[in-house]
């Protein structure tokens, strides 16, 4: 297996091949798809995506964090200081987080603009709360795939072109999975503050982001995935400066 991985490593770091839908650098292979593939694929997976929407309404807790009365919501949660909550998220600890703590932390963080995300690839990590739709994805899909060397992330190529799911294998091969269609990036107000927002072209979903950390240029974002007024789960995105976002 390692011999296969090593075939994608070239000693010369200036090695860079540009093809219409493929980019090969000294240590990774990055795939791209034509726009029509996103539209066609999301139509083929319409029933799956519709079921995902339905699961949001079956969550044990009504995760409505952007209601008109959001400022009066009780966010005491576990009572942990924000610094500890932030440290637990940034450290590689396998734990379930209190969603009230995550919302409280989100409110305390600075906003980011869509321009901060555009032109970059990102590595993702789901933050479990033990009652979100993303928890199901973590246990049923993400963890089994991680044992095979797969990771996930997102890629924002431009303001109106992006990949809501970018799979990678051994951090060497990167390929978009277009089952949810294309996304665009704008700044939208959520919990009173405009911030970078990922909008799905064909799904009633949005991802909102705040800046969790930016130590030594390693930008980490706290994100929340929403279906209309419901929060369906929390996650982080870590900047992946090494993975190209364009084939040329």
Q: For residue 6, what pLDDT is reported?
A: 53
E strand map for the chain: 16-19, 22-25, 29-31, 120-127, 150-158, 161-169, 173-176, 183-190, 193-200, 205-215, 218-227, 230-240
Write down the pLDDT at residue 11: 57
Q: What is the pLDDT of residue 5?
A: 47
pLDDT at 217: 80
Beta bridge partners of 230: 227
Cβ contacts of 1 within 8 Å, gap of 6 or more:
none
Q: Exposed, middle or buried by CB within 10 Å (0-12, 13-18, 19+), for 132?
A: buried
Provide the 3-class DSSP secondary structure of residue 81. coil
Q: What is the pLDDT along the chain (248 residues), one digit of tens a residue?
A: 555 445 545 556 779 999 999 999 999 999 999 999 999 999 999 999 999 999 999 999 989 999 999 999 999 999 999 999 999 999 988 999 999 999 999 999 999 999 999 999 999 999 999 999 999 999 999 999 999 999 999 999 999 999 999 999 999 999 999 999 999 999 999 999 999 999 999 999 999 999 999 998 899 999 999 999 999 999 999 999 999 999 98
**Interatomic CA distance for residues 136 and 143, integer angstroms:** 10
Domains plus CATH for the chain?
37-71+80-240 (2.40.128.580)
């Amino acid at each position: 297996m390692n011999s296969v991985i090593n075939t994608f490593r070239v000693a010369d770091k200036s090695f860079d091949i540009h093809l219409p839908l493929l980019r090969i650098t000294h240590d990774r292979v990055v795939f791209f798809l034509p726009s029509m593939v996103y539209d066609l694929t999301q139509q083929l997976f319409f029933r799956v995506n519709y079921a995902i929407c339905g699961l949001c309404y079956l969550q044990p807790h009504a995760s409505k964090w952007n209601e008109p009365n959001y400022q009066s919501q009780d966010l005491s949660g576990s009572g942990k200081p924000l610094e500890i909550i932030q440290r637990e998220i940034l450290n590689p600890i396998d734990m379930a987080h209190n969603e009230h703590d995550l919302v409280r932390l989100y409110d305390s963080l600075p906003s980011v603009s869509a321009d901060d995300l555009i032109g970059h690839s990102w590595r993702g990590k789901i933050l479990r709360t033990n009652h979100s739709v993303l928890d199901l994805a973590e246990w049923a899909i993400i963890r089994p795939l991680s044992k095979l060397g797969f990771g996930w992330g997102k890629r924002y190529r431009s303001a109106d072109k992006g990949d809501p799911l970018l799979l990678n294998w051994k951090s060497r091969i990167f390929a978009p999975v277009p089952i949810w269609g294309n996304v665009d990036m704008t700044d939208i107000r959520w919990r009173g503050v405009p911030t970078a927002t990922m909008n799905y072209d064909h799904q009633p979903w949005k991802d909102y982001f705040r800046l969790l950390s930016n130590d030594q240029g390693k930008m980490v974002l706290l994100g929340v995935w929403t279906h209309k007024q419901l929060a369906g789960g929390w996650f982080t995105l870590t900047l992946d400066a090494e993975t190209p976002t364009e084939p040329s």
